[in-house]
Chains A and B, each alone.
Chain A
């Protein structure tokens, strides 16, 4: 400790980097949650109602993604896809693709469980009223499913937000990268990582609070 000279002012000057990094991290997480949800809903229905090959494909996808490191997916999206001919994505979009594919696998399970736990009484009431299957899906099953899985979605979002730290490996300027930048350029290690840690904790706690309130209003109490 003797040899370390604190310089909080120098670190504070770089604060915008941290702030915008946090914002970018949240954006990345939100986009991945959205894209992952689309994948998840499609996959959940595919596995529930599709032909055998589709069910096998979804299961393979989910099992595969859940058993490999996210970092491998990230590198694949950035370094591997161009080799397969897809060259249009920069580092930020490569990461979003990787994180979306990753979250899709987990969300498939969330949606499957959610649809499965819609009380049979609701769909039967829908039938009794005379709704077509598509109407029942749109007006009863999906809205109720959404409310049931709201806590899981919140937790997934917070998880994804923490996973955005891996974007720093592609030099995407999110929060972890900001701390790395400060560390490498000014050697203010403790300040840099204190900022990052504190911001992740506060952001996580804040998001959780907001989402809890949202849940209390909308989540189904069964």
Chain B
């Protein structure tokens, strides 16, 4: 049996690679998009803010799986042909961007108003205030929940197995399917997920401590 487990390992690792690739792309896209939406939520005109709020609340109000299916099945119906991989990444990115938007808005909102006053008094323009005073401080506050979102994204990538994408979860199911060895591979897959997410959280903890000199 040990021999069979070993032979299944490369497939699992390939699946892990796919999962990580998906998570990386989604995190990048969602961070960029979420950042923009977050800025709009905090600083936009009334119309933009309402639109952004509706977007964020709708996306967060439905299960991520439903969003994945909506994108995967719904887009072809309106004429857009995406591969499963692209659809999955699009759906996960949309989902995560809504969460990140809230994180960004909350982070910026938590900067004391007095800091903006002081920045105004020095004569900085809106974009200068954002770039030099608000965001450097806000980003440090956004780090923990953002890392949480990264972990959620890695876990969410497992749902793309339902679209037939051979990530770690589907690779595990395939290997179980042809070797008929169940528990060891489940344990292995669980361990790999755990290792990745645990590492992400720990690294973030280290980063947080490096910036802890920002006492308020």
Contacts and interface: CB of A to CB of B under 8 A. Distances in A.
Query: In the complex, are there CB atoms of A and B closer than 8 Å?
Result: yes
Interface stretch (B32-40, B68-76, B208-216): B68-76
B63 A176 contact: yes
B169 A72 contact: yes
Interface residues of B, number: 36
B203 to A, nearest CB: 14
Nearest to A190: B77
B73 A67 contact: no
SS class, residues of chain B in contact with chain A: helix
B66 A197 contact: yes
Interface in A158-194: 162-166, 168-169, 176, 179-180, 183, 189-190, 193
A201 interface: yes
A36 to B, nearest CB: 18
Contact of A64 (B62, B156, B173, B194): B194
A76 B173 CA distance: 11
A129 interface: no
Contacts of B198: 63, 67
B59 to A, nearest CB: 10
B79 A1 contact: yes
B55 interface: no
B155 A205 contact: no
B189 A162 contact: no
B197 interface: yes
Interface in B9-53: none
Interface of A: 1-4, 63-64, 67-72, 75-76, 79-80, 83-84, 162-166, 168-169, 176, 179-180, 183, 189-190, 193, 196-197, 200-201, 204-205
- List 3 A-B pairs, minimum CB-CB distance, nearest first: A69-B158, A165-B63, A67-B197
